[in-house]
Structure 1
Amino acid sequence: MEEQVKIKACMHIGGEWIGEELNSKNVINPANGETVGSFPIGGEKETQMAIDAAHRAFETWSEITAYERAGYLKKLYHLMLENQEELAQTMTLEMGKPINESRGEVVYAATFIEWFAEEGKRVYGETIPSHVGAKRLQVWKKPVGVVAAITPWNFPAAMLTRKMGPALAAGCTVIMKPSGESPLTAVKLMELCEEAGFPKGVVNLVTGSSSKITKTLMEDERVRKITFTGSTEVGKILIRQSADQVKRLSLELGGHAPLIVLDDADIDKAVKGVMASKFRNAGQTCICANRIYVHAGVYEAFIEKFAEQVGQLKVGDGMDESVAVGPLINQSGLEKVSHHVKDAVAKGATVVTGGESIDSSNGVFYKPTIVKDVDASMVVMQEETFGPVAPVQKIYSDEEAIKLANSTPYGLAAYIFTENVARGTKLIEKLNFGIVGWNDGAPSAAQVPFGGMKESGIGREGGHEGMDAFVESQYVSIGME
């Protein structure tokens, strides 16, 4: 597979590509250290231009019918599928994800556009029985306004479409601000939006200084909604910054997902589920299994089969079709993973397989790793690792599993493996997580609500609930006399 030419990206504001005259920053392929492109470093001025453009476009975009908006979204959906390979290669080159995973992400990202193209037609109002004969009581639904979508590097297509889809379908206009680690996929999506014929200013793209762009977005009262995926620490900052204008927020924040294997689980099924959850995107996902709790009765059998599967994973450049685990995003990520493993070993854990970085002059790789006999004193069980490390702790009861799983400020995703329906139901009822995979290591889909409890966020993305964040309920009381 031949690599593409380097991409010199621009911003897209009000229907125009701009920013060539600005200073730029290189995008580095973490698999080999090579520059794959660059993007302009925009700031307050460019963000203000995007807000102006989105605000102007909102008046007309919000007034056309949901069916007309769906038409644009359907065009974008088909264009994404037609350009799947280009989008996937761009994604892999800029952030390292194995090419087959990137192809899958493009399809997954496109399903959000398709789903919300249809769901926008089902934003229903309401007629309420009146307590007074001469009144008619109604609830109207209105788009919230200009929306700013701030997204992370690890899913550069899906995180954008999961926000763009419902916002655009509801009648909002959008300003996209992708991560500086992986902005080129967003540029490609913006090109497809332009090809789909979206009116000028409906979709805008700004790149550059996160602090300056975010500050401008938060201070402008015309931006009525911020939708953000990223760390809990940044999410808390956005909450504080939103207070002055009471901006609406959707926040999908950090996770520290537990995965529980009970003694009646199908071990082969459990291992398959852990593999699907833990090592996708080299463990750099917010819902991947970070803490694995296995009942003592099946502990050794589970680790044996798990290690056999992990040992078969090929690590390398994501552009290689046979690679299952790509690089970490940068050196800082590698150092964090290494620290977690070393801390666990120093405190008595044992490395079953992996446990070290892969010597590479330019790439950022860490071997898929299993660490057994871990406990709560170890950093790996307290912090989100964001890497290909699976720590396994022995448990002795369902009650212990629940206590350990819930012993975190995060509540995004959890996983359980048991063949007993009553036991699984009781367990899930006590787990404080927004998403639970029961005998399922890959629960995400466009038609379901995605989001967390506690410090893992506010609101839900996907499903019919995904529309709620982008519409306001307006109560109308009509006097008939």
Structure 2
Amino acid sequence: MTAKHFINGTWYAAAKGGEIDVINPANERVFATIAAGTAEDVDRAVAAAKTAGQGAWVRTTGRERAVVLRAIASGLEAEQQALAELEVRDNGKPLPEALGDISDTIYCFNLYATYAEELDAKQDQPIAVPDDRFKTTVKYVPAGVAGLIVPWNYPLLMAAWKVAPALAAGCTLVLKPSEFTSLTALELARICETAGVPPGVVNVVTGYGAEAGARLSTHPDVRKLAFTGSIPTGIAVATAAAREIKSVSLELGGKSPIVVFDDADLEQVIEWVMFGIFWNQGQVCSATSRLIVQSGIAGRLVERLAEEAKKITIGDGMDAGVLLGPLVSRPQYDKVMGYIEVGKREASLVSGGQRPAGFNAGYFVEPTIFTGVAPEARIWKEEIFGPVLAVASFKTEEEALALANNTEFGLAAAVMTSDLDRAARIADRFEAGVVWINCSQPNFLEPPWGGMKKSGVGRELGTWGLMNFLEPKQITRYLSPDPWGWYLKG
């Protein structure tokens, strides 16, 4: 299988002929190739998007765009199983998780179809002003060509988080998926075409971030940049946006805490802590990778977590019963294993910490738990993006909050307690954009998603996500039959 760029409704090989191998992380075998896009490919895609943005698409109503968005959702639903299986081969996650991701993707397009319809009712709404000789209204117009750069941990779903609101707003776009997981993004382009998206409105360019991603970030005709990924790359994207005064939204990393008080239900705690760090192999930006547990129950909780972690079935995501698949790539595997070696010097390894026995191929890592982790430890401060849990204990509420907030990140945080007043206090004082009480990681598409501090700029999802791709335009009319008078009568 050789996958090409999708530009202006046509499939193109890379301008310079380069290709990138696509590797199944469960067995390290090449099963496809994608085009290695460069600046020339991005320039062609942006030109197509700019031309399409001057055509009929930008003049459609929200209701008309909703029809197309729902057609995309129907196309995804018709191919849900095949898309999920492709995602497993490309990313490594277990098939039930991939099926859930595609289901959420379908929901995302349907949700933004509804928001597109609702947008029509918001157009030309009057705004009260203190002079009745004037009438002021607000119109929401598309932001222009949108450059969308998405990561590899939720390949199709993360694309949908940006593509669906961009289309709902009436934008045209160029999508740059991760070089590790581009295949379902290309399938999305095909489905968009079948659903009636005009040529040039949706374009997908594959390739390395340093080449294709960098050019998309700096292209002068890209008016809006939306990026999800690491802090260093986010800084580069934001710097490029600043030079051109582009609108930018960034969803970056996290090192999220889960604070557990001694009155919490222990079995519920175990379930949510495990889910919060081992789901999707820990490759989740909001993963609650720092467990902050009250000292009275710390020993017992860590012991139980170690017992349960050893029961997790590891293997190829296509195999029935597998709960933990491989990491996405060799570089990610090497990074995580490097952090584990650091952790062995900084803290006490309770369980895991190595390649599972019997796996001679694939990027597999055991669920790993460290305890006695100091606040200055690297495994406490730095995002690992793997199935690695760092545990520290506390005595007082103030100490717990200090540990939780002492980080450069601020994406998410969780608290587990039966005292709902305390839960509310903690939630109010967490320095995070997403807060969970007595749970970890549930994510609905209607509320805003995004972080504080170095975890990002702006919010995605819900109507906040739609506003990312809209520009509010003030229109003020003079209603009086008389001249204004400042100049003529002044």
- Pick which of 298-307 and 272-281 moved more: 298-307
1:240–1:95 CA distance, 2 compared to 1 (3 A) = same
Which one-letter code corresponds to 1:93 in the other structure? R
Residue in 1 that maps onto 2:38: 43
Q: Give, in whole Å, the separation in 1 of the partners of 2:193 and 2:339.
A: 44
Matches for 1:14-29 after TM superposition, within 5 Å = 14-19=8-13, 22-29=17-24
Shift of residue 16, structure 1, vs aligned partner: 0.6
Contact 1:144–1:172 (Cα < 8 Å) also in 2: yes
Q: Equivalent of 1:32, from 7, 27, 51?
A: 27
Shift of residue 195, structure 1, vs aligned partner: 1.7
* Local SS of the residue matching 1:12: strand
Q: Give, in whole Å, the separation in 2 of the partners of 1:17 and 1:99.
A: 29
Q: What are structure 1's unaligned runs of at least 5 residues?
A: 1-6
Residue in 1 that maps onto 2:485: none
* Local SS of the residue matching 1:147: strand
Contact 1:108–1:445 (Cα < 8 Å) also in 2: no
Q: Give, in whole Å, the separation in 1 of the partners of 2:371 and 2:131.
A: 68
* Local SS of the residue matching 2:147: strand
Q: Does 2:108 correspond to 1:109?
A: no
Residue in 2 that maps onto 1:98: 94
Q: Give, in whole Å, the separation in 2 of the partners of 1:215 and 1:453.
A: 25
Give the total of aligned pairs.
474
* Local SS of the residue matching 2:459: coil
Deviations 1:252-274 (A, max 9, x none): 00111111111111111111111
- Pick which of 376-385 and 163-172 moved more: 376-385
* Local SS of the residue matching 2:223: strand
Contact 1:416–1:439 (Cα < 8 Å) also in 2: yes
Q: Give, in whole Å, the separation in 2 of the partners of 1:459 and 1:303.
A: 36
- Pick which of 51-60 and 353-362 moved more: 353-362
1:53–1:337 CA distance, 2 compared to 1 (3 A) = same
Contact 1:30–1:94 (Cα < 8 Å) also in 2: yes
Contact 2:146–2:166 (Cα < 8 Å) also in 1: yes
Residue in 1 that maps onto 2:134: 135
Shift of residue 332, structure 1, vs aligned partner: 2.7
1:20–1:378 CA distance, 2 compared to 1 (3 A) = closer
Shift of residue 129, structure 1, vs aligned partner: 2.2
Residue in 1 that maps onto 2:486: none
* Local SS of the residue matching 1:464: helix
Q: Does 2:50 correspond to 1:55?
A: yes
* Local SS of the residue matching 1:392: strand
Deviations 1:313-366 (A, max 9, x none): 01111111211101112233223322333333323x322221212353321111
Residue in 1 that maps onto 2:379: 380
Q: Does 2:283 correspond to 1:284?
A: yes
Contact 1:176–1:204 (Cα < 8 Å) also in 2: yes
Shift of residue 132, structure 1, vs aligned partner: 2.1
1:114–1:23 CA distance, 2 compared to 1 (3 A) = same
Q: Give, in whole Å, the separation in 2 of the partners of 1:191 and 1:339.
A: 39
Shift of residue 398, structure 1, vs aligned partner: 1.1
- Pick which of 320-329 and 120-129 moved more: 120-129
Matches for 1:255-270 after TM superposition, within 5 Å = 255-270=254-269
Q: Give, in whole Å, the separation in 2 of the partners of 1:465 and 1:357.
A: 41
Which one-letter code corresponds to 2:49 in the other structure? A
Shift of residue 20, structure 1, vs aligned partner: 6.8
Residue in 2 that maps onto 1:208: 207
* Local SS of the residue matching 2:284: coil
Shift of residue 373, structure 1, vs aligned partner: 1.9
Taking structure 2 as the reference length, what is the TM-score of the superposition?
0.94
Deviations 1:128-157 (A, max 9, x none): 223222211111111101101101111101
Which one-letter code corresponds to 1:459 in the other structure? G
Shift of residue 90, structure 1, vs aligned partner: 0.8
RMSD: 1.5
Residue in 1 that maps onto 2:475: 476
Matches for 1:458-477 after TM superposition, within 5 Å = 458-477=457-476
Matches for 1:27-426 after TM superposition, within 5 Å = 27-59=22-54, 60-123=56-119, 124-125=122-123, 126-347=125-346, 349-358=347-356, 360-426=359-425
Q: Give, in whole Å, the separation in 1 of the partners of 2:131 and 2:434.
A: 43
* Local SS of the residue matching 1:358: coil
- Pick which of 122-131 and 31-40 moved more: 122-131
Q: Give, in whole Å, the separation in 1 of the partners of 2:4 and 2:190.
A: 10
Which one-letter code corresponds to 2:100 in the other structure? G
Q: Give, in whole Å, the separation in 2 of the partners of 1:274 and 1:54.
A: 44
Q: Does 2:12 correspond to 1:12?
A: no
Contact 1:316–1:325 (Cα < 8 Å) also in 2: yes
Deviations 1:188-222 (A, max 9, x none): 11121122121111111111232232343234332
Which one-letter code corresponds to 2:212 in the other structure? I
Residue in 2 that maps onto 1:3: none
Taking structure 1 as the reference length, what is the TM-score of the superposition?
0.96
Q: Give, in whole Å, the separation in 1 of the partners of 2:451 and 2:273.
A: 20
Deviations 1:289-315 (A, max 9, x none): 111111012212222332232121011
* Local SS of the residue matching 1:289: coil
Contact 1:260–1:292 (Cα < 8 Å) also in 2: yes
Shift of residue 248, structure 1, vs aligned partner: 0.4
Q: Give, in whole Å, the separation in 2 of the partners of 1:334 and 1:19.
A: 30
1:306–1:219 CA distance, 2 compared to 1 (3 A) = closer
Q: Give, in whole Å, the separation in 2 of the partners of 1:65 and 1:159.
A: 25
Contact 1:91–1:102 (Cα < 8 Å) also in 2: yes
1:221–1:333 CA distance, 2 compared to 1 (3 A) = closer
Q: Give, in whole Å, the separation in 2 of the partners of 1:300 and 1:214.
A: 46
Q: Give % identity.
A: 35
1:20–1:54 CA distance, 2 compared to 1 (3 A) = closer
Contact 2:279–2:324 (Cα < 8 Å) also in 1: yes
Q: Give, in whole Å, the separation in 2 of the partners of 1:187 and 1:215.
A: 20
Q: Give, in whole Å, the separation in 2 of the partners of 1:424 and 1:364.
A: 38
Q: Give, in whole Å, the separation in 1 of the partners of 2:477 and 2:109.
A: 36
Residue in 2 that maps onto 1:4: none
Which one-letter code corresponds to 1:224 in the other structure? R
Q: Give, in whole Å, the separation in 1 of the partners of 2:410 and 2:214.
A: 28
Which one-letter code corresponds to 1:234 in the other structure? T
Shift of residue 377, structure 1, vs aligned partner: 3.1
Q: Give, in whole Å, the separation in 2 of the partners of 1:477 and 1:210.
A: 43
Q: Give, in whole Å, the separation in 1 of the partners of 2:336 and 2:242.
A: 35
Which one-letter code corresponds to 2:107 in the other structure? T
Shift of residue 378, structure 1, vs aligned partner: 2.1
Matches for 1:431-450 after TM superposition, within 5 Å = 431-450=430-449
1:244–1:350 CA distance, 2 compared to 1 (3 A) = closer
